[in-house]
Amino acid sequence: MIIGSHVSLKAPDYLLGAIEETISYNANALMIYTGAPQNTIRKPISQFKLDEAKSLMDKHNIDIKNLVVHAPYIINLGNKVNPRTREIALEFLEKEINRVIEIGAFYLVIHPGSHVSQTKEEGIQAIIEALNLVVKKEHNIMILLETMAGKGTEIGRTFEEIKYILENVENPDKYGVCLDTCHINDAGYDLTKFDDVLDEFDRLIGIERIKVVHVNDSKNPMGAQKDRHENIGKGTIGFDILYSIVHNERLKHTIKILETPWVDNKPPYKEEIALLKAAKN
Ligand code: FE
Ligand code: FE
Ligand code: ZN
User: How many distinct structural domains can be found in the chain?
Assistant: 1
Mean pLDDT of 118-139: 97
pLDDT at position 115, please?
96
71 CA → ligand 1 middle, Å: 8
Mean pLDDT in the chain?
A: 96
Cα–ligand 1 centroid distance for 69 (angstroms): 10
Does residue 36 surpass a pLDDT of 90?
Answer: no
Instruction: For residue 187, give the ligand nearest its CA.
Output: 3
Q: Alpha-carbon torsion 143, 148, 154, 155, what sign? A: positive
pLDDT, tens digit (0-9, with 9 covering 90-100), for 195-244 = 999 999 999 999 999 999 999 999 999 999 999 999 999 999 999 999 99
Q: The domain containing residue 209 runs over which residues?
A: 3-277
Q: How many Cα atoms sit within 13 Å of 219 on the Cβ side?
A: 7
Contacts 24+ apart (CB under 8 A), 40-44: 40/72, 40/74, 40/75, 40/88, 40/92, 42/95, 42/99, 43/14
Tell how far the Cα of 14 is from the centroid of ligand 1, in angstroms.
Answer: 21
| pLDDT recorded at residue 187 | 98
Residue type, 164: Y
CA of 10 relative to ligand 1 center, distance in Å: 20
User: Could you tell me the CATH number of the domain that includes residue 242?
Assistant: 3.20.20.150
Please determine, for residue 281, whether its predicted confidence score (pLDDT) is greater than 70: no
CA of 32 to the centre of ligand 1 (A): 11
Task: Check residue 142 and give its pLDDT.
Answer: 98
* pLDDT reading at 274 higher than 80: yes
